[in-house]
Amino acid sequence: METEIEKLEEEMAQSEGHENAAEDLGKLDKKMQKLSASQARLEGRRSEIVESIRSLKRKLKQPEYKNVEEEYRVSMIKHETTLMAVRDIEKYHSALDHALLQFHSIKIAEINQIIRDLWRLTYKGEDITTIELVSGQDSGARASRSYNYRVVMTKGSTRMDMRGRCSAGQRVLASIVIRLALAETFCVNCGCIALDEPTVNLDFNNKRGLAIALAQITADRSAQSNFQLIMITHDEDFVAMMKTELASQSGFTMPEKYFQVRREEGADGKYYSKIDAIDWDELV
C-alpha cells in the first residue's frame, strides 16, 4: 500500500500545473454560480413575459378588442383619405388664392380705367392729368392678406399721393369719381347709386363736368331695369345742368319729374316735410 501511495505521489509530482488545480476549480465554481444566478433571473423574466402574453391574450378576447384588426384597417383608411383630402384642399386653396390675386389685379385695372375716363370728363382744371387707385399689400399671409389703398394723382409725368396735396373741391370730385367707378365695376346687377350733396366745394366748370358724367352714366345704364340714380342736392344750378345734359343724350328717355323736399307749417303750428313731384319743364 505504501508503495502504491508513493507511486501516485510521484505521478502527481510529474503532472504539469497540479499546484494550480485547486485555484482553477475555485474559479470554475464561482463562474458556475454566476451562470446559475443569471439563469434564475432569466427564468424569472421569462415567466413574467409569459404571464404578460397570457394577460394580453385575455384582453384581446374581451368585446372591446373583438374586431380590433378590422377597426384598425378602417381607421387607417380614414387617416390616409383625410391626408389626401388635406393635400387636395391645400392645392385648391393655393389655386383660389392665386385666382383672387388675379381677380384683384383685373378689377383694379378696370376701376382705374373708368376713373381715368371719368376724371378727364369731369375735371376741368389743368393741374391734375388723371388719378388712380393704388393698392399696397400690408401682409403676405394668405388668409390675413390685406391691402392699403391710396389715391395717386398724375401731374404731367410726376405721380404722387393725392392726400394733402389737393383742394377741397378736388377731393370731393375725386371721391365722387371713385365711387362712380366702383359702382360701375361691382354694381352691375345692383345698380343703385346714391350721391349726397355731390357739388360741395366744386366750382362751375367741375359741376358741369360732373353733370356730363352723371348724364352719360344714366343714359348708358338706362336699359338696365334695376338701375337707379338717387341724388340729393341744394344746388339748383346743378339740377339745371343735369336737365340740360340729360336732354342732350341720344337714345335716352328723359325722366318726367324730379322731387323737391321742403318744410311746410301745418295747421297745428308744427313743421312737416313735404315732397313735391315737379316737371322738368318747370325748372327755369
Asked whether 191 and 227 are in contact (CB, 8 A), the reply is yes
pLDDT digits (tens, 9 = 90+) for 198-248: 888 888 888 888 888 888 888 877 777 777 888 899 888 888 888 888 888
Which residue type sits at 139? Answer: S
- CA 218 to CA 248: how far, in whole Å? 12
Nearest in space to 253 (alpha carbons), one of 213, 206, 221: 221
The three cell numbers locating residue 216: 352719360
Per-residue pLDDT of the chain (284 residues; tens, 9 = 90+): 667 767 666 666 665 555 566 677 778 888 888 888 888 888 889 889 998 988 888 887 787 777 778 888 999 999 999 999 999 999 999 999 899 888 988 999 999 998 998 888 888 888 888 999 988 765 454 545 677 888 999 988 888 988 888 888 888 888 888 888 888 888 766 667 788 888 888 888 888 888 888 888 888 777 777 778 888 998 888 888 888 888 888 777 777 788 888 888 888 888 999 998 888 777 76
- What are the sequence ranges of the domains in the chain? 61-165, 187-284
Beta bridge partners of 260: 276
- Cα distances from 221 to residues 178, 197, 244, 251, 265, in angstroms, run 18, 22, 18, 11, 39
Q: Which residues contact 119 (CB under 8 A, 6 or more apart)?
A: 128, 130, 131, 173, 174, 177
- CA 188 to CA 85: how far, in whole Å? 37
Using left for φ > 0, alpha for ψ between -120 and 50, and beta otherwise, residue 25 falls in alpha
